[in-house]
Amino acid sequence: MKNLLITTVAAVVLEMSAFSSYGFEREYVKRAVLSKEQEKVVIAIAQKRGIKKIAKIYTYNVYPTAARGIRVKGAEQVKGREVSFKVLNVTYKKWFHPGSAPRKGDLQMGDFWAGKPSTQKQTILKVDKKEYRAGSVQGISIEECESILGLFLAGEYNHGPGVNEKSLNQIDWSNPNGFRKRGDTISVGFPHKNAGSGFFDLQIKLDGKQLTINQMFQAVP
């Protein structure tokens, strides 16, 4: 069985040798950098799982454990303000939790395996002729989201006494996770400036052009 897997991987590597010339974006954390040969196997798995054109491969830490993961992002499909793309999580045995093994239905090549891809959607926001992507927009108009994002990017906001100003300096305002509105309550999410360091959820109030952060919650891995 082991020889069969090695033969399969070798065949796939040869088959995919020309793919590297197409290029894609890489974003690897220090403890999880894929070699060129490993990339070819990951690409092959992604293609067999239906992601024919790859836009990005990135790795990430699975805090608070020592495990690391791999994610493949497919090419984007844009319709108006909506962006959709496929995402595939790939497991590498040597990087994941001890004793981990493929589940029924997973596609395996050597020490790598993956289930089926999921489809993710984003909304395009436009502020000062620049485009930004929001992971989700619920119960609030795109225009309101753009107004809120513009104020955050310009630093034109106030905050309540319970909000830690030092934490605000750690927020990546250019990558909104999402906007949600229920009644008069608006919640906005942003990641930490340092990838893999968590995210922030802000409870805000928008009164015309006056933006106030009433509460801030931080999720730390």
Question: Among 15-19, 22-26, 145-149, whose mean pLDDT is lowest?
Answer: 15-19
Q: Is residue 20 domain-shared with residue 61, that is, in the same domain?
A: yes
Confidence band for 219, pLDDT divided at 50, 70 and 90:
confident
Over residues 18-36, the pLDDT tens digits come to: 344 348 999 999 999 999 9
Read off the pTM. 0.74
* Mean predicted confidence (pLDDT) in 99-128: 96
Q: Is residue 93 domain-shared with residue 25, that is, in the same domain?
A: yes
| Contact yes or no for 157/151 (Cβ under 8 A) | yes
Q: Is residue 95 domain-shared with residue 18, that is, in the same domain?
A: yes
Number of domains in the chain: 2
Q: Is residue 152 domain-shared with residue 209, that is, in the same domain?
A: yes
Higher-confidence residue: 6 or 191?
191
Q: Is residue 104 domain-shared with residue 127, that is, in the same domain?
A: no
Domain extent for 152: 122-219
Confidence band for 172, pLDDT divided at 50, 70 and 90:
very high
Q: Which of 116, 136, 154 is the last residue of a domain?
A: 116
Q: Is residue 143 domain-shared with residue 215, that is, in the same domain?
A: yes
Q: Is residue 107 domain-shared with residue 34, that is, in the same domain?
A: yes
